[in-house]
Structure 1
Amino acid sequence: MSYQNILEEIEDNILTISIDRPKKLNALNRETIQELHEAFKEARTNDEVKVVIITGTGEKAFVAGADISEFADYSPKEGKKLAADGQEKLFNYVANFPKPVIAAVNGFALGGGLELAMAAHFRIASENAKMGLPEVSLGVIPGYGGTQRLPQLVGKGRAMELIMTAGMVDANQALQYGLINHVVELEKLTEFTEAMAKKIMKNSMIAIGAAIKAINANYEDGVNGFDTEINEFGRSFGTDDFKEGTSAFLNKRKANFPGK
């Protein structure tokens, strides 16, 4: 599929989606959010895709926020719809994606950019990365899940401070806070992230999808994550991957998971 604002590349079962709006520092507008939704929707049913890496083109920015020019004159009703549509189409969609999603954060990840990175299942950042939610400096709050996912990752107190001050943290601070998993040199970001994706793909992708569902259940209101874990654990026993994994272990050989 052809896109105006994103680039796609599939290699070795890894889909890399790059947001490509360099003149806007890869800022998210409605069209880009829709294109990202379409790309993830297509990846969901593409058997060739096992892991998704999301990043930004260039060295300056992953995503330097939302495109403010699009909503500067919105009414409260329009603002609410903007947040609801964006969360449904992209941010929650990515967070609950059944295949692993890794954010490779190169440069600025601000506002909607950090919210997109936080929606990914985990984050790897380059040394020049800077992250923050500066929305209150514009008289608004994070609207794409930032007030919910940031506390989950860094704790309530740090999230309150970061949001209230509209401040930024560098990659090392973000690592210390638990906001990201690894910091690497910019020129090694792609290589490191792809190596992580390949390490993941050695395991059962069916089981990984079930684990994503179970982990996410812990953060859903009214859902007992332990019940979800028990159900997914039981369901695993009916998969070909379980038969292959246990057989390989018992016979002291490397598993070759069929993904079923």
Structure 2
Amino acid sequence: MITTQHNGDTITVLLAARSINPLSRLFQRELGDLLDQLESRHPHLGAIQIGFDANAADPSHELEHLMALTPAQAADCMHMLASYNALLCRLEGMGVPVSATLGGDVCGHALGLALACHRRIALADAHLSLPQVLMGLAPVAGEIARTVRLTGVQAAMPLLLDGARLNATQALQAGLVHKVVGDESELADALGDTGAAAVQPWETKNHQLPGGGLDAPAVRALLQTAPAMLRQRAGGTVPAAEAVLCAMVEGLRVDFANALRIESRYFCQTAINQAHRKGGFSL
């Protein structure tokens, strides 16, 4: 599921997009082993480049990653997500630039892992999406917290509340990717840029949320009308989208670590509700 290649002080990592699963102990072990390997090479490590085998990705595979969640299993769900979030935070805190290369369809948890990288470079054929809301689920593992902090509330809404599929240019305009390249040669040049930071933008001093924070008049007006617009568009209640909206807003009122916990709670809530409606999921 995870392969590595060494090239001087750079390590290139390839992940099978379909295998990326916050609720899989097997994937968590593999990712933990990778991080152990990277951290052990830290004194001699200059950069990390992560790519995704996106050909195997399919938005519907998110359902295969769910446990048959019941209310009694909510604590286990939270524990698994806390463990996975800690792994992604280790990646963010590696101390060297981590770049993700995105081509083809990069969706769900694969995009979530890419958002934990410091820089994302998209090929022109890339399409990015977080389709979980279309299946009655909230995105999880930082997919809400990182998207909102990278793009701002308004730009994050189509991706998070509608499950919109963005092409490379749209993702660049939204702030999800840093550069779009036309081919592998341009990609190699972009990856060779040594000026990349090894820190997420919201961790820098004086960071401001794109489009304004929750107190900005335009954002406040948007949030006041958003719940009614969601219900009107769906012709009734939309529990998953409403949970995502709550996680977006509540997550911005706290620090990043607590935003991840809030996001996890809303995911477990929507997953348990879905399991009851569908009769349960299994891995």
TM interval, shorter chain, is 0.5 to 0.7
Partner of 1:88: 86
C-alpha contact 1:17 1:55 (8 A) present in aligned 2: yes
Residue 27 of structure 1 and its aligned partner are, at CA, apart by 3.5
The residue that corresponds to 1:256 in the other structure is none
Structure 2 counterparts to residues 169-248 of structure 1, below 5 A: 169-188=166-185, 190-196=187-193, 199-200=194-195, 212=199, 216=203, 221=255
Q: Give the corresponding residue for 1:147.
A: 144
Could you say if the C-alpha distance between residues 181 and 101 of structure 1 is closer, same or farther in structure 2, counting changes exceeding 3 Å? same
Q: Which runs of 5+ in 1 are unaligned?
A: 202-207, 224-260
CA distance in 2, matches of 1:131, 1:195: 23
Letter in 1 for 2:68: D
Structure 1 residue 181, shift from structure 2 partner? 0.7
193 and 7 in structure 1: CA distance in 2 versus 1, 3 angstrom threshold: farther
SS at match of 2:189: helix
Report the counterpart of residue 126 of structure 1 in structure 2.
Answer: 123
Q: Which segments of 5 or more consecutive residues in structure 2 lack a partner in the other structure? A: 208-253, 258-283
Partner of 1:27: 19
1:38 paired residue number: 33
Measured against aligned partners, the alpha-carbon deviations of 1:135-167 in whole angstroms (never above 9, x if no partner) come to: 112222111101111011111112123211011
Partners of 1:17 and 1:64 in 2: CA distance = 21
User: Corresponding residue for 2:9?
Assistant: 13
Q: How many equivalent pairs are there?
A: 202
Q: Is 1:117 matched with 2:114?
A: yes
TM superposition shift of 1:67:
5.1
| Residue range with higher mean Cα deviation, 121-130 or 135-144 | 135-144
Amino acid at match of 1:45: S
Structure-2 separation of matches of 1:188 and 1:26: 27
Q: Identity of aligned pairs, percent?
A: 22
Native 8 Å contact 1:27 1:67 kept in 2: no
- TM-score normalised per structure 2: 0.63
Relative distance call for 1:114 and 1:51 in structure 2 (3 A) is same
Distance 1:137 1:79, change over 3 A: farther
Structure 1 residues 49, 67: CA separation in 2 closer, same or farther (over 3 Å shift)? farther
TM-score, structure 1 length as denominator? 0.68
Distance 1:165 1:146 in 2: 14
Structure number having the greater helix percentage:
2
Q: Residue in 1 aligned with 2:265?
A: none
Q: Secondary structure at the match of 1:116?
A: helix
Distance change >3 Å, CA 26–CA 100, structure 1 → 2: same
C-alpha RMSD of the superposition: 2.8
Change (3 A) 1:136 1:67: closer
